[in-house]
Every structure is written in structure tokens, then in C-alpha cells.
Amino acid sequence: MYELEEKWYLYLLFVIPAMALLFLYIQFWKRKKQREFGDLDLLKKLSPEKSVFKPILKLIVVLLALTCLIIGLVNPKIGTKLETVKREGIDIVFAIDVSKSMLAEDVAPSRLEKSKQLVSQIINNLGSDRIGIIAYSGSAFPVLPITTDYSVAKMFLQGMNPGIISAQGTSIDQAINLATSFIDKKDKTNKLLIIITDGEDHSNEAVGAAEEAKKLGLKIITVGVGTEKGGPIPLKRNGVVESFKRDQNDEVVITKRDSEVLKKIAKATGGGYVDGNSTKAVLDYVKNALENIQKTEFESTQMADFKSQFQWFLGFGFFLLFLDVFLLEKRTKWVKKMNLFNEKGN
């Protein structure tokens, strides 16, 4: 069993036949010119020590050396044994509030950016759990389906902003309902929904949606971002604050965190609420919650323990190059005596 780590280096092998063809062309050209300007038998007498075979041998050595070096760059690996790798964990869905109230900067740098940081830190502390991401405001949108690719999750996470959903407002029930659609009833893996929001809910149906989600085995943790004192919603252009959002009476809108509704949502599923303004508090709470949720084996694969073999090819390649230095184009005396290559002089 083997694998090639850097396969694209194999394209360099096309250089080998190209060099061989170039060598043959040069030999043909030299012979042609020698015939034009002199007698071949006379040239042999003028350079009796010049070997006909040595240039070919040197070419073969150099081509073999280059081939070995290229294969070394490819880094072939040989599998020595098979290991069964088991993955177990739970499915975690992150529902992130991207409504305009999340642009408030009562938590630095803003509620939305703080939410992204929290999710990213939680992902960093996960083991083999599967994750999904939902964005919601007036409606909910599936940003990333259930996956184990954490790097892709972080990439999608950074692109989340209020502009990805046209329907404004905040309807937490939409996020919960969408999260339940991520659940495969045949899949026995435990599910956890983590909602990161300031708690503003314009639908007032979130608790009912949470109670329905509990029937499907979904537990909810709510993370409240923002302050009870609240703050205005900045309107920016090119990163510069030009004004603040105002209501119909031209008063500056002050958005506040509503912790009570978030506690009710979490309680309805047997989950819990945590203050999202403290990163450490969130990480500790989620870590403790995950330790108390039974993990389920959802993937078992056999993997070979591959070991790199590049060092053998590189070593042999450099040895051949070193050997080429000592292969002169003159006839070797002891070979000349044996006349192995019909090099005995006339």
C-alpha cells in the first residue's frame, strides 16, 4: 500500500526523455560536422583516449540521478499497517443573530464580531464533533450544513453580516425551526443548538419553538451578547460612523440585551444561559455542557500508517551525481585492457 504526497512533481519526469533526445541530437550533429570538416578515422587517432561509451554512461547516470531526485520530491509513502480510527461526538449547530441590532458597539468591537469570536473559540476547543452554522434575523438561512471541516466553518463564519439576509427583524423561532431541520431522526447522534444573540425577539414564539425542538431531542444553550444598558446602532460608510439608526420619531434607537427571554428558551429544552460578554465564561460553560452530553460514534474508518520514503531516493540521487563527477570521458585503463566496449585502439 502506498501513496504519493506531492504528485504534481511527477510532471518534471518529462524532462528526462527531453534530455535524452537532446543528447542524441547533439551526438548526431557532432558526427555530421566531423564528417564535413575531417576524417573520422583520423579524429580517432588524434584523440585515442576519448571514450565512445563514457558520454552515454554519464548521461544514463545523470538521468537516473534526476529521476531519483524527482521521486524524492514526490515523497512516496508506504503503508506499514492498518489502524481503525473511530470518531465520536455530537452535532452542534450555531445560530448567529445577524440583525442590525448586532452592530451595536456596547460590546467591543461589536455584538456581531464578538459573536463570531465566541463561535471561533468554541470551535477551536472541539474534538471530533460535527458542526453546522445558521444565520438569522427576520428569517433564518443555513450558512453551513453539518460538517467536520472546521477550517471551512471558520471561513464561512467570517463572511457573516446583516446583508446576507434581506428580511430584517429578529425571529429566534426561525433559527430554532431551521436547526430542527438539520436533525436526521434516524441518526442517534445527540444534538446541541447554541444561539448567540442579544435576545431581541420580535416574534414572541421562540419559547414555543424551543419546546417543540425538545421533543426531537434538541438541547439549546443561549449566549447573550450586549449589555442591559444597551447602545445605539451605528450606520457606517467605509468603516466610518456617519450617524445612528433612528426611529419614526427621529429618536436614536437604543438596543438592549434581553437576557430573560434567552433564559426561558434555554430552560424549555433543559439547556442553559450564559453571559456572552465574557469569553472565558462561555468557553467554560460550553466545555462543561459537552462533557455531560453522551458522545455517539458516527464514523469509523481504517487508515494506513504511512511512512515517508523520500530520503532513500534523494540519497541515491545525490550519490549518482557524486559518481558522475568521477566519470571522465577518457577511456578507463582496466576496461580498455578487457575491451568490454570494443574500445581497444587500432
SS3 state of residue 77: strand
- Give the pLDDT of residue 341: 47
Residue 265 half-sphere exposure, CB side, CA atoms within 13 Å? 32
User: CA 335 to CA 332: how far, in whole Å?
Assistant: 5
Residue 340 C-alpha cell reads as 568490454
Which residues make beta-bridge pairs with 83?
Answer: 303
Cα–Cα–Cα angle for 285, 173, 262, nearest 5°?
A: 35
Residue 259 C-alpha cell reads as 437576557
Nearest to 89 by CA among 274, 288, 291: 291
Q: Are 192 and 90 in contact (CB under 8 A)?
A: yes
Element (H, E) at 95: strand 91-97
* CA distances in angstroms from 174 to 96, 97, 209, 300, 309, listed in the order given: 12, 11, 8, 34, 54
pLDDT, tens only, 269-323: 999 999 999 999 999 999 999 888 877 765 555 555 677 788 888 898 888 888 8
Nearest to 302 by CA among 77, 146, 129, 79: 79
* Residue matched to cell numbers 425551526: 177
- Give the pLDDT of residue 286: 93
Residues in the chain with pLDDT values less than 70: 1-2, 34, 36-53, 79-87, 184-187, 297-305, 327-346
Cis bond upstream, residue 109 (ω within 30): yes
User: CA 42 to CA 129: how far, in whole Å?
Assistant: 82
All structural domains of the chain, each given as residue ranges with its CATH number in brackets, are 2-75+309-338 (no CATH), 86-300 (3.40.50.410)
How far does Cα 171 stand from its chain's mean position? Answer: 33
Element (H, E) at 3: strand 2-4
pLDDT, tens only, 30-56: 777 767 666 656 556 555 556 666 778
Residue 216 C-alpha cell reads as 426531537
User: CA 191 to CA 214: how far, in whole Å?
Assistant: 10
